[in-house]
Amino acid sequence: MIWLRSLLFIVAFYGWTALMCFALLWMLLLPRPQMIAVVVWYLRTLAWLERVIVGIRYEVRGAEHIPDGPFLLAAKHQSAWETMKLHLLVRDPAVILKRELMWIPIWGWYASKAKMIPVDRGAGGAAIKSLIRNSRPVRDEGRPIVIFPQGTRVPVGTYTPYRVGVGVLYESLKIPIVPLALNAGLYWPRHKFLKRPGTIVVEFLAPIPPGRPRAEAMRDLEERLESASDRLVMAAGGPPTIRPPVTAPAERRERSAPASAS
């Protein structure tokens, strides 16, 4: 039964998305806020398909921790599910994503119009500089900036070190970090066909205020985000993440490439 429902959902999801990509091209002529309103409507239709066909619902906790002004939303990244809920969770987010995604026909046009933040993960120091440069106007607009600290989707129970991008932005933009824990990978596994029915929980954690030493803030972010996500995963019957012992400051374990969506 789960196999059949997953198949029906995949057909409905891709069919509806392909139709909307072409049917909503007129949105590119709208002012950006109006286009974002239509995008939110489309994402709500996907959530409806998930609920009706597969039986996936979601619950939001800790919304009181969302600041009024700009902030970094450092989200755990376990599956494609959370990328389709960001506009339903916070107002008008700018997502840091791989530059190659902007080259996808039609989809890339929408991402450009929505003012997402592309980054070339292979450009090293130049990528960091462009990340900061492209993020500052978004901060000045008061929009949240979404970053996946581990830089890619990480399966439940697997550990991947946090990358340098979130720390650099925290230090440069001088805005708080709001960690976002979740357990979506249990129900929408990475690179898996089957989708499990159940309630995905996303939880906003208390912000890390600006102004702290970068290494200290990043250690705090990793510990809190990993612990909270493990708590949500284990409460739903999933495995905890096996992390290596910390033998050096978090700054020494940061990768040279910035984090981005995959």
Q: What is the pLDDT of residues 134-147, one digit of tens each?
A: 999 999 999 999 99
pLDDT tens across 49-69, in order? 999 999 999 999 999 999 999
Indicate the domain borders of the chain. Answer: 56-253
pLDDT range class, residue 238, cuts 50, 70, 90: very high
Would the pTM of this model clear 0.75, i.e. be above it? yes
Query: Which one, of 253, 260, 175, lies nearest residue 215 by Cα?
Result: 253
Closest by CA position to 166, among listed 102, 76, 60? 76
Strand order in the sheet with 177-182: 56-61, 198-204, 177-182, 72-75, 145-147, 94-98, 117-119
- Give 216's contacts (C-beta < 8 A, 6+ positions apart): none
Residues 96, 259 contacting (CB under 8 angstroms): yes
Helix 214-235 and helix 165-173, axial crossing angle in degrees, nearest 10? 120
- Are 141 and 114 in contact by the 8 Å Cβ rule? The answer is no
